[in-house]
Structure 1
């Protein structure tokens, strides 16, 4: 059964009459085009053919889809354009994936940002194009339903809008984007004031803290936030709880990785799920590693995120292998035995994967009417 920690008690707010969300995410939304099965990276003057491809919502939508598939009531406060990509994104997110878009807005004469992701060598390289959102996150969040947890991306532009929410009891899970200039200014970490957790990847964490290892980086970051989590890709993850002093390192699960696009966002969604369920730090981290491992076995970023049905299938196969005497499976089953209690009560329906091209809107439409009228961009 799911339990809610005391800190999630809803304070008085303008949204007290509305059912609160489990999590609200905010940030840029992208249309992702993912290529897999590349024999090598492209170089000038050549053409490389990929054996697979998929289209999917990207950017902050990765985390929104992953959270919704794990059963969290999820809202997205984001900017959408007035083009065909935006029509498709709005339909897939709101009607196929069940993400609450009431705090999102559409803008005229503003096009959807696009990312091409190239899955290679158990990682990915990306090419993106887009423009800053027409309005800051604070303008979108101001009209959102109350949420127990909020995902915010650190940005040097504007005031840290999440601090008012944190003061009212919302847990802020902070992330940070890639620094294309390579300066990795430690002053950015001052923005973490008021945040509950910070979840950078290993490269980002070590660059910002000037640490020599992920563990050292997590310890340094734990001086700024109650929970510091550093993801390490194929090497697992490490976390430090500054309140208790607990340090946890979790090994990766060995899977055949097809596409790492969005794996960090799936990790973050699973971490929030475990937090809302009141799990201890070790279980939260193991669950996050599991969900991201299941995601990289599929291609398509957000639409590779597992649902509870995928988790149940993996658990059943792992337990069956353990009963045959497989030593590795026995050890894995022992680490994840908490799934016996976590799985009951969750719908185990199949989730939709990325298509090679944009799905027809009719394939995901539920007949609930058109998207909201677009408004002029600023």
Structure 2
């Protein structure tokens, strides 16, 4: 870790206490998908063939990955999205609201509107996706037009830069909400740097290494992070099996942390879990290295199950991992994660744990949050993904 850059003069830290009394810790806006996830295919699909998979699960996806990940860590979470009135939309709504404890007061349901569906194929430590959907009948800005009281907001740059009028997140930023920005895949291959313009009003930017390198026209994740640090106070570049890089432009601090070795099964949603975990550490005023280290762990735990949002870990899963790690005697992990002893909840037996992914009637779920079951598959492989 070393202070390699100077803090740009235009960056200012959020005002202390500006959102101390906010109703929510996190507000999110975006599209919810009904995800069908296949794992461990017997082969690669090709024209005229049928391929069987040993594992399958169904979960709310898209922005729901972030919402569930944040809620599992105890952050009060509000989601503004559009849901169809079909069975997919009703199932996602009820699961998110009733079983994950996510506030949907800013979301809306529309009759005769089809919920977007994504089929995700997890193979060789990564995933490919096929999606069908229709344009949203209402914008996120309309859903959040009258403002919302939140300490942080997570949103995507592509959506942020496409709005002509002053968007909800910009008004929120002006009221002290810290904006954490992500960016989506550019299927045009243009990687237009203009997409990065909203970073001037953001607190943090969390792209993966491919996105960071492409948008900055640099040769490495570290070079990309340094280039992006000129545009936003805090940059985090996730680098898969190589961990993550973080640069705090306000202090000049630069940190690189390794990934956590786990048996990986499905990388769907790992980057979302990383982002939600990083927000938690930020709200708790943890040092940058601790935030990155914690986020690397949470994203690693997420890939041990398939199913995207429902594989997001809770404090119970983190406590289980810490106990197993201490018992294993792994000196390096015990040293790196010693801070968990001070941040884990005292009542670990009843702490929130992740669910396995399944598509069942919500009325038939066992009582209590995160106690779902289903979604079978074989033993996972050894990988080290971090988003």
- TM superposition score normalised by structure 2: 0.87
Among 11, 27, 30, the residue aligned to 1:27: 30
SS at match of 2:38: strand
2:53 counterpart of 1:46: no
Looking at structure 1, the residues matched to 50 and 146 of structure 2 have their Cα atoms a distance apart, in angstroms, of 47
RMSD over aligned Cα atoms = 1.9
Question: Does the 8 Å CA contact 2:19/2:177 hold for their aligned counterparts?
Answer: no
1:106 paired residue number = 109
2:17 counterpart of 1:9: yes
1:374 paired residue number = none
- Mapping 1:173-212, distance limit 5 Å: 173-212=180-219
1:88 paired residue number = 91
SS at match of 1:152: strand
Looking at structure 2, the residues matched to 76 and 62 of structure 1 have their Cα atoms a distance apart, in angstroms, of 11
Looking at structure 2, the residues matched to 121 and 230 of structure 1 have their Cα atoms a distance apart, in angstroms, of 22
Looking at structure 2, the residues matched to 94 and 7 of structure 1 have their Cα atoms a distance apart, in angstroms, of 32
- TM superposition score normalised by structure 1: 0.89
Question: Does the 8 Å CA contact 2:19/2:149 hold for their aligned counterparts?
Answer: no
Question: Does the 8 Å CA contact 2:72/2:352 hold for their aligned counterparts?
Answer: no
- Mapping 1:136-147, distance limit 5 Å: 136-143=139-146, 145-147=148-150
Q: Deviations over 1:142-193 (max 9, x none)?
A: 2564110001111242146212211111000011111111110011111212
Shifted more, 244-253 versus 134-143: the winner is 134-143
Looking at structure 1, the residues matched to 19 and 352 of structure 2 have their Cα atoms a distance apart, in angstroms, of 34
Looking at structure 2, the residues matched to 170 and 181 of structure 1 have their Cα atoms a distance apart, in angstroms, of 32
What residue ranges of structure 2 are gaps of 5+ in the alignment?
Answer: 1-12, 369-387
Looking at structure 1, the residues matched to 43 and 250 of structure 2 have their Cα atoms a distance apart, in angstroms, of 46
Looking at structure 1, the residues matched to 197 and 145 of structure 2 have their Cα atoms a distance apart, in angstroms, of 23
Q: Give the total of aligned pairs.
A: 350
What residue ranges of structure 1 are gaps of 5+ in the alignment?
Answer: 323-328, 368-378
2:356 counterpart of 1:338: no
- Mapping 1:73-84, distance limit 5 Å: 73-84=76-87
Question: Does the 8 Å CA contact 2:271/2:299 hold for their aligned counterparts?
Answer: yes
Among 159, 163, 166, the residue aligned to 1:158: 163
Q: Deviations over 1:12-53 (max 9, x none)?
A: 9xxx7xx61000111111000000111333111211110000
1:307 paired residue number = 314
Looking at structure 2, the residues matched to 6 and 242 of structure 1 have their Cα atoms a distance apart, in angstroms, of 14
Looking at structure 2, the residues matched to 7 and 299 of structure 1 have their Cα atoms a distance apart, in angstroms, of 40
- Mapping 1:204-243, distance limit 5 Å: 204-243=211-250
